[in-house]
Amino acid sequence: MIKIENISKSYEVVKALDNISLNVERGKLFGLIGPDGAGKTTLFRILTTLLVPDNGTATLMGLDTVTDYKEIRKNIGYMPGKFSLYLDLSVQENLEFFAKVFKTSVESNFEMIRDIYVLLEPFKNRRARDLSGGMKQKLALCCALIHKPEILLLDEPTFGVDPVSRKEFWDNLKKLQKNDGITTIVSTPYMDEASLCDEVALIQNGKIMAVDTPQNISKGFHHTLFGLKSENNYKTLMFLREMDEVNSAFMFGNSIHLTLHNHKQFINVEQKLREKNFNFSMERIEPNIEDSFMELMEKE
């Protein structure tokens, strides 16, 4: 459904994308996972025909993003990272406007947005500028879907949105995929959202580090991983990073994720921590996709 071959894009001295290649199958929910500045938005702008790549090609539904841009725009839905609807128009007016742009009507494709719109309906006469972050997100998604696109491109759609709205948003994406078979690419800096995708690409500094299912990427972690909790995690982290036995140590929420050059050295690590009177607990844990991302970054 989407084929990206050797795409590169630079902004003066900054190389935003460096020889990117990806394939996304029809009906898949595909995640582009990476931090700010990784190249996610640049790739989305190329896929939505808003940018021309320096090198390489991208095709959507067999259509080239450079030569067939007009046809592509008719068949994709795009939700940019920044809220870009008309602030002075109401919820209903925004929906009707975007429907008319695509030569359709809200009524014609209402079934596709019904589950999302039901939460917006009480505010249908409210101006877009007066909506909460979660409601703006729902309105933007409805407008991206109102012409029943074959491909949905969502650039960091849950950034800055509360946890409840984030969960509702992903529930809606899953329903769209199941009920309408829509092919979706979603970019996000949130590693916990990666597990909700069928397949993900981890991107950093304009390069793809891995492409696979979230489960397989987590299984590809190459070290024994330990979780450590301490009364003073920051002080403990600084001490761990000075140890010869330690390969990597990072904060993950309220604990430290730790790998050693040799996993049998954990006894030495525990002993050194006790000698310095650290009050801690340490156990072996299963890696997640964020651990794999950090490990791949270390290799880079």
- Express each pLDDT in 125-155 by its tens digit: 999 999 988 889 899 999 999 999 999 999 9
| CB-CB contact of 74 with 63 (8 Å) | no
Distances (CA, A) of 21 to 56, 165, 206, 240, 281: 9, 32, 11, 38, 43
Residues 56 and 179 in one domain: yes
> Tokens 């990427």 identify what position?
217
Residues 266 and 255 in one domain: yes
Residues 192 and 271 in one domain: no
The better pLDDT of the pair 263, 57 is held by: 57
Residues 97 and 234 in one domain: no
Q: Which of 201, 218, 235 is the last residue of a domain?
A: 218
Residues 6+ apart with CB under 8 A from 214: 31, 194, 195, 197, 199, 200, 289
Is the pLDDT at 300 greater than 70? The verdict is no
What is the phi-psi region of residue 15: left when phi exceeds 0, alpha when psi lies from -120 to 50, beta otherwise?
Answer: beta
Residues 252 and 154 in one domain: no
| CB-CB contact of 208 with 22 (8 Å) | yes
Residues 202 and 241 in one domain: no
Distance CA 100, CA 43 (A): 28
Q: What is the mean pLDDT of residues 73-83?
A: 91
Residues 80 and 57 in one domain: yes
Residues 13 and 30 in one domain: yes
| CB-CB contact of 21 with 5 (8 Å) | yes
Q: Please give the structure tokens belonging to residue 161.
A: 């949105």
| CB-CB contact of 64 with 233 (8 Å) | no
- Express each pLDDT in 237-282 by its tens digit: 999 999 999 999 999 888 999 999 988 898 999 999 999 999 999 9
Residue 46 domain boundaries: 2-218
Number of domains in the chain: 2
Distance CA 81, CA 45 (A): 11
Describe the crossing of helices 110-120 and 133-145 by its angle, rounded to 10 degrees.
Answer: 170
Residues 40 and 136 in one domain: yes
Single-letter residue type at 65: T
**CATH no. for residue 232?**
3.30.70
**CATH no. for residue 14?**
3.40.50.300
Residues 138 and 12 in one domain: yes
Residues 176 and 242 in one domain: no
Residues 6+ apart with CB under 8 A from 254: 229, 233
Which of 179, 198, 202 is CA-nearest to residue 190? 202
Residues 27 and 39 in one domain: yes
Q: Which of 218, 239, 274 is the last residue of a domain?
A: 218
Question: pLDDT confidence of 166, banded at 50, 70, 90?
Answer: confident
Q: Which of 218, 253, 284 is the last residue of a domain?
A: 218
